[in-house]
């Protein structure tokens, strides 16, 4: 895939009950991108209102909103499917860059330009930021190490922080990967990583970025779901790859 032409920058921000932080994150992110897609699904704390108050005057941003909460993976699936459909209509290009950024302020936007430059200079298909988890409690770090090690086994290569939601994808590979996973709860991050690796895309997961603040809402159950989702994602690529590949 060529990385030489100037790609569009699109950010996808999933937001669930992030009223205190979401507007500040969007305000900071908006000047960095050509397009901003926010997905609020069924927040109960005023997140929707905070986004709607922020939207006027930010014409490159749009909101996808669900009335019932469907989980982070469903939010990404909706946004990525929308982008994939626009790729199919030639409104976007396979080389365009899709950034994913959390709405809680945990993703250091200082790194944004550096991540873009790495994608282009190294002609990467995906860059999953490795978060500096040194401020996290030991059990979170251990859990992250275990899930990443398990994912590495199934991906066929070492992944350092497979649970990271701070990522950059080329739209073409992302649209391709989307044919092999949907995600449940938080599993989107681990599934897309394993699928992209199994499909042979060029991916990095070793670029370390600081996390400005610690906050955690994920549980042991979420980690268990991810552990189960990883081999299933790899198996889907093995069993369905031939079936979904266009005939040559
Ligand atoms: N649209 C949507 N977004 C969600 C949902 N759950 C979480 N998010 C968002 O997804 C992003 C990541 O969620 P977090 O709960 O911070 O998870 P994390 O940072 O990956 O992991 P922890 O640090 O362990 O909590 C944040 O922007 C959340 O607002 C959801 O059900 N729907
Ligand atoms: Mg977070």
Q: What is the CATH number of the domain that holds 113?
A: 3.90.550.10
CA distance 89 to 201: 23
Per-residue tokens: 53: 């108050």
What is the CA(112)–ligand 2 centre distance, in A? 17
> What is the DSSP-derived secondary structure letter of residue 109?
G
Q: Which ligand lies nearest the alpha carbon of 189?
A: 1
107 part of a folded domain: yes
Most ligand 1 atoms within 8 A of CB, residue of 12, 24, 104, 224 to mutate: 104
Q: CB–CB of 58/42 below 8 Å?
A: no
Domain carrying residue 155: 9-241
What is the CA(232)–ligand 1 centre distance, in A? 22
Find the Cα–Cα–Cα–Cα dihedral 188, 160, 232, 38, rounded to 10°. Answer: 10
CA distance 9 to 224: 33
104 part of a folded domain: yes
Most ligand 1 atoms within 8 A of CB, residue of 45, 166, 217, 224 to mutate: 217
Ligand 1 contact via 103 beta carbon (within 6 Å): yes
Question: What pLDDT score was predicted for residue 248?
Answer: 43
Q: CB–CB of 72/14 below 8 Å?
A: yes
Question: What pLDDT score was predicted for residue 95?
Answer: 98
Q: Which ligand lies nearest the alpha carbon of 136?
A: 1
- What does residue 216 show for φ and ψ, rounded to 5 degrees? -135, 135
CA distance 42 to 50: 13
4 part of a folded domain: no
**Sign of the CA dihedral with 210 first, then 213, 218, and 219 last:** positive
Per-residue tokens: 66: 């669900």
What's CA 233's distance to the chain center, in Å? 16
Question: What pLDDT score was predicted for residue 240?
Answer: 84
What is the CA(200)–ligand 1 centre distance, in A? 28
246 part of a folded domain: no
Q: Point out the ligand 1 atom lying closest to the alpha carbon of residue 214.
A: 23
Ligand 1 contact via 216 beta carbon (within 6 Å): yes
CA distance 215 to 102: 12
Q: Point out the ligand 1 atom lying closest to the alpha carbon of residue 217.
A: 25
If you write DSSP's letter for every residue of 1-17 in order, what string do you get?
A: ----S---EEEEEEESS
What is the CA(102)–ligand 2 centre distance, in A? 6
Question: What pLDDT score was predicted for residue 238?
Answer: 95
Q: What is the pLDDT along the chain (248 residues), one digit of tens a residue?
A: 444 568 999 999 999 999 999 999 999 999 999 999 999 999 999 999 999 999 999 999 999 999 999 999 999 999 999 999 999 999 999 999 999 999 999 999 999 999 999 999 999 999 999 999 999 999 999 999 999 999 999 999 999 999 999 999 999 999 999 999 999 999 999 999 999 999 999 999 999 999 988 989 999 999 999 999 999 999 999 998 766 555 44
Bridge partner list, 193: none
Q: Which ligand lies nearest the alpha carbon of 101?
A: 1
38 part of a folded domain: yes
Domain count, the chain: 1
Question: What pLDDT score was predicted for residue 91?
Answer: 97
Element (H, E) at 204: strand 203-204
- Residue 29 makes CB contacts below 8 A (sequence gap 6+) with 11, 13, 36, 101, 109
35 part of a folded domain: yes
> What is the DSSP-derived secondary structure letter of residue 223?
H
199 part of a folded domain: yes
203 part of a folded domain: yes
């Amino acid at each position: 895939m060529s990385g030489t032409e100037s790609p569009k920058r699109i950010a996808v921000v999933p937001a669930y009950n992030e009223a205190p932080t979401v507007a500040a994150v969007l305000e900071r992110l908006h000047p960095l991108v050509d397009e901003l897609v926010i997905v609020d699904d069924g927040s109960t704390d005023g997140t929707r209102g905070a986004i709607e108050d922020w939207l006027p005057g930010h014409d490159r941003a749009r909101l996808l909103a669900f009335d019932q909460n469907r989980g982070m993976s469903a939010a990404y699936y909706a946004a990525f499917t929308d982008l994939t459909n626009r790729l199919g209509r030639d409104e976007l290009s396979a080389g365009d860059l899709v950034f994913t950024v959390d709405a809680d302020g945990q993703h250091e936007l200082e790194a944004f330009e550096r991540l873009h430059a790495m994608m282009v200079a190294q002609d990467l298909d995906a860059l999953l930021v490795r978060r500096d988890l040194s401020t996290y409690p030991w059990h979170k770090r251990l859990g992250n190490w275990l899930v990443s090690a398990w994912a590495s086994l199934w991906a066929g290569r070492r992944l350092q922080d497979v649970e990271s939601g701070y990522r950059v994808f080329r739209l073409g590979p992302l649209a391709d990967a989307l044919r092999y996973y949907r995600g449940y709860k938080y599993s989107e991050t681990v599934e897309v990583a394993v699928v992209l690796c199994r499909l042979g895309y060029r991916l990095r997961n070793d670029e370390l970025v600081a996390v400005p603040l610690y906050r955690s809402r994920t549980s042991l159950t979420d980690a268990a779901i991810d552990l189960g989702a990883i081999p299933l994602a790899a198996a889907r690529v093995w069993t369905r790859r031939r079936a979904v590949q266009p005939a040559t």
